[in-house]
A and B are shown apart, each in its own frame.
Chain A
Amino acid sequence: MSTPPRAVQSGRAAVAVALRVLGVTALVGVAATVWLGLFVTPPDEFMGNLVRLLYVHPPMAWVAFLAYGVASLASLLYLWPRTRAERFDRLAGASAEVGVVFTGLTLVSGSIWGRPTWGAWWVWDPLLTTTALLFVLYLGYLALRRVPGELHVRARRSAIAALIAFIDVPIVYLSVEWWRSLHQAPTVLNPTTQKTYVHGSMAWTLLLGFASFTLVYIWLTAHRYRLAELQDLEDTEGLEAALAERRAEAVAG
């Protein structure tokens, strides 16, 4: 491996420092959200202490959807000939990975909240069902990404698969919603229509939750992106060595 030029090295160092600052900020934000949510904010008059889960659950769901949005946009940019670049492929992969993790967290935290609220770990609510299907949809996408292959081949088929999956999301949501509404209305409380008095400190905590989870998303995605970049770099640098080795077969043979 050749040593990269000084400018590239200092650039990488700056990125590394920025990432570290970002990571620390994100973690402090999450810690503050947890502290505020658990100890500072008052219990809700209807939901009691359960409301504390709501400081993390919606931010997690938001990050999951944000991640899929970014992955789809990056896939689209990769497929568009004029904007085709490997960085969009890496971004799509990195973002989808973080998205799947946060979808999992969303489902788990939602379930924990739903058990005492709805009396069941799981209800066939449109949002919930769509989220669960998204989870398996993107697990499939990640499985496809993991299939080895040449860089641009893998990138193109992954990008197409990501868009096929993305187009499915609204159809799934609308049909599941319709499917539910034709049944009798759920006997459980619908969290969106429930009037919850939002105390000042509660609103701030929720806002902080959204902000810090978004930072966590950026931080994780950036790390996954850098890892993918290094792997690709290893592949391309390995190519020179592989070519030399291959050519040497002629002499050895």
Chain B
Amino acid sequence: MLRDAVLVAGKDLRIEVRSRVGLNQIGPFAIAVLLLFGLALGPDRRVLAPASAGLFWVAVLLSTILTVQRSYAIESADAARDGLRLSGLDPAGIFLGKASAVAAQLLVLEAALTIGVALLYGARLSGALVLVGACVAGTLGLAAVGTLYGVVASGLRVRETLLPLLFLPVVAPVLLAATKAWDEALAGTPGRAGGWLDVLVVFAVLYVAIGIVAFGPLLEDG
């Protein structure tokens, strides 16, 4: 299973490095979202700075949807399921591989967005350990749920619209917990973020476990 996961993750990341869709499209999209939030809330930094954490994570959530869609688009277009099923790979391995590739791309994106909120909203970065911890745990949870629903939606004619509807309500706890953890860190009280990090870790572990079990049956459908 792990061997297949490494194989799939390696393949996905290699394709992303070469095609640069993440760099050329998803990255700029996320930055556009940050700019639009700025326009919506006005130029006042006293308004923007306290909202940075929440806006950052909403931008990450939206980018996750695009990254997951891209992750299934590279599986030779419409034959996505057939190709993966014929490959002879272990389904749990495919899930872990795809989820980690999605997570790796999101983490790179989050690094860029962090600089973005510091520059645009005047957020003062502090509590680096909590910031990074929340990113890692939160992103794993997002990638797991996204990859799981991604395979449900792949191959359906309504995939573009169905994926966000299924994905966003389920990851509400990630948005909440990651935002609070970041709030504490940015406010200079990273010690109080511990519980929120726990929520993120529990969420990630739970949905990675579900994914390992459920991905196979979902891939077989259709």
List, in ascending order, chain A residues with CB within 8 A of B210's CB.
164, 167
A-B pairs under 8 A by CB, number: 72
- Residue ranges of B at the interface with A (Cβ–Cβ < 8 Å): 145, 148-149, 152, 156, 158, 162, 165-166, 168-170, 172-173, 176-177, 180, 195, 199, 202-203, 206-207, 210, 214, 217-218, 221-222
Q: Are B152 and A171 neighbours in the complex by a CB distance under 8 Å?
A: no
Which residues of A143-185 are within 8 A (CB) of B?
A: 143-144, 147, 149, 153, 156-157, 160-161, 164-165, 167-168, 171-172, 174-176, 178-179, 182
- 19 more A-B residue pairs beyond the given contacts A153-B221, A175-B176, with a C-beta to C-beta distance below 8 A: A133-B172, A136-B165, A140-B165, A140-B169, A143-B166, A147-B156, A149-B222, A156-B218, A160-B152, A160-B214, A161-B152, A164-B149, A164-B214, A167-B206, A171-B173, A171-B202, A172-B172, A175-B177, A178-B195
Q: Is A66 close to B, CB under 8 A?
A: no
Q: Give the complex CA separation of A139 and B173 in angstroms.
A: 18
Q: Give the complex CA separation of A175 and B207 in angstroms.
A: 16
List, in ascending order, chain A residues with CB within 8 A of B173's CB.
168, 171-172, 175
11 intermolecular pairs with C-beta atoms under 8 Å apart = A136-B165, A136-B168, A140-B162, A140-B166, A167-B206, A168-B173, A171-B202, A175-B173, A178-B195, A178-B199, A179-B176
Q: Is A137 close to B, CB under 8 A?
A: yes
Which residues of A31-63 are within 8 A (CB) of B?
A: none
Q: B218's contact among A136, A143, A157, by CB below 8 Å, is which?
A: A157
Q: Give the complex CA separation of A176 and B176 in angstroms.
A: 8
Q: Are B195 and A133 neighbours in the complex by a CB distance under 8 Å?
A: no
Which residue from chain B places its CB closest to the CB of A154 in the assembled complex? B221
Which 4 A-B pairs have CB atoms at the shortest separation, nearest pair first? A137-B169, A140-B165, A153-B221, A136-B169
Q: Give the complex CA separation of A182 and B187 in angstroms.
A: 14
Q: Give the complex CA separation of A164 and B206 in angstroms.
A: 10
Q: Are B170 and A165 neighbours in the complex by a CB distance under 8 Å?
A: yes
Which residue from chain A places its CB closest to the CB of B215 in the assembled complex? A160
List, in ascending order, chain A residues with CB within 8 A of B221's CB.
149, 153, 156-157
Which residue from chain B places its CB closest to the CB of A175 in the assembled complex? B173
Q: Are B180 and A157 neighbours in the complex by a CB distance under 8 Å?
A: no
* B203 CB, nearest partner CB in chain A, Å: 6
Which residues of A170-219 are within 8 A (CB) of B?
A: 171-172, 174-176, 178-179, 182
List, in ascending order, chain B residues with CB within 8 A of A165's CB.
169-170
Q: Give the complex CA separation of A144 and B151 in angstroms.
A: 13
Q: Give the complex CA separation of A167 and B162 in angstroms.
A: 20
Q: A156's contact among B169, B172, B202, B217, by CB below 8 Å, is which?
A: B217
